[in-house]
Amino acid sequence: MKRVLLRNKLSGRMKPVIVFAICIILLLLWLVLRSFREEPVPPSAEQMHAEVEAWLTTGDQQHLLAPQQPIPLLQSERTSSSPLEATITINPERTYQTMDGFGAAMTGSSAHLMNQLPQEQREQLLHDLFTSEGLNLDMVRHTIGASDYSVDASGAPASYTYDDVESGTDYTMEHFSIDQDRELVDMLQQVTHLKPHMKIMGTPWTAPAWMKYGEKTLHGWYLNYEDPQVYEAYAQYFVRYIQAYQDKGLPIYGITLQNEPGFTSPNYPSMSMGAEEQAHFIRDYLGPALKKAELDTRIITYDHNWDEGVEYTNQVLGDKQAATYIDGSAFHCYAGDPSAMSEVHDRFPDKSIYFTECSGGDWSPDFGENLSWQMSNLMIGAPRNWAQSVLLWNIALDPQGGPTNGGCENCRGVVTIDPESGKVDKNAEYYALGHISKFVRPGAVRVDSNQEQGKLENVAFRNPGGTLVMVAVNTGEEDTSFKVVMDGTEFHYSLPAKSAVTFRWKT
């Protein structure tokens, strides 16, 4: 009995001790679990050694699309808190348009100049422009017939179409021929030998003179709207052109209906085509003709400056029957600003946006200013406003901005070829284009990134293989330090004034 009483007495005294011990154990266990939860997961070996590639072009030309030392890609919580002037945040989950490609126009003048180079130099230039070791261009625009940059075999100015007759009409296209494009076709075949999947876009500056109302000239006026046979014949003119180029091994990816349809000149091939007329032509003639011929070439409307693009495309794409045949609209840079393309996209979100022409020239001789403007408005501004292509004007011109066929006398090509010495100079346009064409592949998707307009501007993409590419330009007068943040990682960079940089990294 005494033992039982003693055991009970001891048991009663031990209970508080046991409870206290259990509490201590639970507290220690909670602290241990909390420490595991708050301790960040250590980065993998691959993440610890991740790097960002960079290529730089500076306004003083000390760096020209030059590779830089790799930049460490850091875990955000492990970086220092040193102040930076800007933060660019990339959200790869928010996506926009899919890119078609980048390039320039292979005009008759460009093809002639390139063809005059000795074979070794010509092959090197084509290599620099169209292979992955160079700019890696994957899209070219060419003129259907002559433009203000067309020449004959001797280099003399030449105005022509594919169906010129001395008098009368040719509704059945009996005189149709692309023979005057021989030099151009040969150059495009050399290009597609290097880049078999090259996208070729064609644009007429004018219809044959016999199709015109009023004066029968290649330089100005408009189609004879009083004669329906003219529209039927012009639709077949496009069909025959596409088929003729296909027969040469040059499939046509897309066509625009008329270069700068709101402008004509008495000095070179040109023609006006109002929005209502263009919708009518596509709806009743061209669209059905391409469909009947089983051609999948894209029909693209407008092809003129930003400033009048909203009104024009509103009329054409607003015609629901015509719109069934139309892939999208194309824009030039010579008036207005890139935001017009976003407005057109917002009105017609199921239609593509293309940027198809811009030229530099002697009116802006400073390399840094040219680089900044082109990066801001074209290489960055166009994709940020839904353009799925960026194409410049002449891929090559001579030191005098020629040879011309009555057009601009002080324009500049992507490269300048001196026909006397054979020297090839790469202009600001070359490096601006290279900052995007070399790294952003067809099929890449633009992804979301913030920017401060007029200072540090950028655009970002995810390539089909998964790599991320960001293109940035500092348009200001001072160097700018910034960081790029994405998915818990970041990297830091300082970009000189009037300079451009491209970053590429794996995710």
Active-site amino acid positions? 260, 357
Contact 353, 344 (CB under 8 A): yes
Please name the residue that has the structure tokens 């509704």. Answer: 171
Q: Name residue 401's amino acid.
A: G
Distance CA 387, CA 231 (A): 30
Contact 491, 73 (CB under 8 A): yes
Alpha-carbon separation of residue 242 from 145, 297, 411 (angstroms): 12, 8, 29
Contact 403, 370 (CB under 8 A): no
Alpha-carbon separation of residue 353 from 99, 149, 205, 217 (angstroms): 10, 25, 20, 32
Beta strand 396-397 pairing with 415-417: parallel
What 3-state DSSP class applies to 489? strand
Distance CA 14, CA 6 (A): 12
Rounded CA Rg of the chain: 30
Nearest to 357 by CA among 323, 320, 383, 389: 389
Beta strand 101-105 pairing with 139-144: parallel
Contact 501, 493 (CB under 8 A): yes
Distance CA 493, CA 473 (A): 12
The vertex-410 CA angle with 108 and 143, nearest 5°, equals 25
Residues 6+ apart with CB under 8 A from 49: none
